[in-house]
Each structure stands twice: as C-alpha cells, then as structure tokens.
A and B are shown apart, each in its own frame.
Chain A
Amino acid sequence: MVPVEFYFVLACVMFMLGLFGALFRRNLIMVLMSIELMLNAVNLVFVAAGRATGNVDGQVMVLFVITVAACEAAVGLAMVIALFRKYGTINTDILRLLRG
C-alpha cells in the first residue's frame, strides 16, 4: 500500500485549494463548490486512515459526511436562489449586509 501520509498530503493540497476558492472567489456558487472540494479532502483522509488502521469506521463516517454535504448543498443553493431573486446578484462584493 502507498504510505498513508501521501494520501494526507493529497488531501491537504485539495483542502487548501478549496479554502483558497472559498475565500477569494466572488461568486456564491463558486464558494459552495469550493466547500464541496474541502469536504472531499476530509473524506479522503477518513478513508485512507481507516484503511491504514484496519477499520471500516472511516468509510461509515464518509457516508455521513456525504449526507451532510448533500443537505448543505440543497439549503445553500436555495439560499442562493432566494438572494438572487431578492437582490438580482450573487456577487459577494455587493451582498455585504452582514459586513460591519
């Protein structure tokens, strides 16, 4: 088997790319897709660590993470639609109601 830290490094690169997108993109849909990328990195860590230590609990956790990701995508995209209907844009430079 490939050493487990290689999988961790790959997951780390994916997580940092997702964080980069979530912080610096100005489109709300792009922010949501970057969050999906970060969740996938976490899934990779679960599966690789579970395989390396001889457990299947990591794979069960991945199923729960996928469930939560589906719920998050549904609610987040509904909020994107509501925001677009109300303000006509999903640019986070314009949507700054919560900014101080």
Chain B
Amino acid sequence: MPDFSLLLTHGIFHILAALITVVSIFVVASKHPVKSAVFLVIDLFLLAAVYASLDSHFVAAIQVLVYAGAILVLFLFVIMLLNLQPEQLRGLKFSVIESGTLLISLIGLLIMIFTSFRGVQTGLGDGTLDVQAIEAAGGNTYVVAIKLLTSYIWPFELASILILLSIVAAIVIAKKDKKVLTSSPSGQS
C-alpha cells in the first residue's frame, strides 16, 4: 500500500510537469498577448498545485492570490489598454542558429543537473524542519510566518519600502506629463 501512494505521488508530479511544460510552450509561442496571459494564469495555477504537493500550502495560496490574482490582472489591463494593432502581433522570429544554440544549451544544462544532483540526499538534510516537525510546530503557515517575522524581519521591512518605491515610480513614469516624459531625443537622431 505505501508503494501505491508513492506511485500516485510520482504520477501526479509527472502529469503536472507535462502540463506545465506544454502550457509554458503555449505562453511563449502564442501570437496574441491575451492568449499568452491566459495560458500564464493556467501555468501559475498548476505551479500552485506543485507547491501544494510539496507541502508548501502558504506559498501555494500566495501564488494564486498575488500572482494569478494581481500581477496577471495588471498584465491583462495593460494589454487591453494598449489595444495593439494586428501587425504588431508578430509571433516568433528567430534564426535556426539561435534556436539551435538554445536547444543545445538546454540539453547540456539538463544533463548537468541530472548528473550533479544524483547524489543529493532527498530526505532530511541539514535542516530540522521536515513535514512531521512542521506539523508538530503548528503547521506550514505558522512556521513560515514565525521565520518571516523573526529571522527575516529586515528584508521584510525593506520589501515594504520597495513596494512603496515601485508605486511612486510607476505613477511618475506612466503619468501624462509631456514636460517630464519627452526630453527631446530628436536632436540626436
């Protein structure tokens, strides 16, 4: 019976991995950005499923809420706002040499990963928080929150400052002030 559960875990992972790969190809290769964004939403949901299968429930929830809920909505807003013309929606344009080089480097990287991570112990390594310890300490969300608000409190505060800065920067860049935006590059060209 444990053999069956192991087989089920492996099967679920391989199905999810195949779906993620196919959907990622669609994200990159779709001609229209709206289709690409929708495929990216599907991709993020599948990744949230992978995180949940890795017992990282908080990250899975954040992935769905922030990535699929907020960032992709921002992308869709901008795609709709720009109202791109059809001639600007050309698809992939690459030469055989470039794509061949990328394919060969991908295969080499896969071989390198498979050979260099063969001996890595996949059980409990140098840390002490395996699944049972996390469950005993109060659950995944509790443990991550304790870690985030004690050991990582300064990066956490810096992240809030970064968000504030990016809000200000986005407003300054995107606002309709011709004196700030057009600094006359026509003199050089």
Interface residues of A (CB under 8 A from B): 1-10, 12-14, 16-21, 23-27, 29-30, 32-34, 36-37, 40, 43-44, 47-48, 50-57, 59-60, 62-64, 66-75, 77-82, 84-86, 89-91, 97
Contact = CB atoms under 8 A, between A and B. Distances in A.
Contacts of B185: 97
B130 interface: yes
B185 to A, nearest CB: 7
Contact of B13 (A6, A69, A90): A6
The A interface, classified by DSSP as helix, strand, loop or mixed, is helix
Interface residues of B, number: 90
A33 B40 contact: yes
Interface of B: 9-10, 13, 17, 20-21, 24-25, 27-28, 33, 36-37, 40, 43-44, 47, 50-51, 54-56, 58-59, 62-63, 66-67, 70-71, 74-75, 78-79, 81-82, 84, 88-90, 92-94, 98-99, 102, 105-106, 109-110, 113-114, 117-118, 120-130, 133-134, 140, 143-144, 147-148, 151-152, 155, 159, 162-163, 165-167, 169-171, 173-174, 176, 181-182, 185
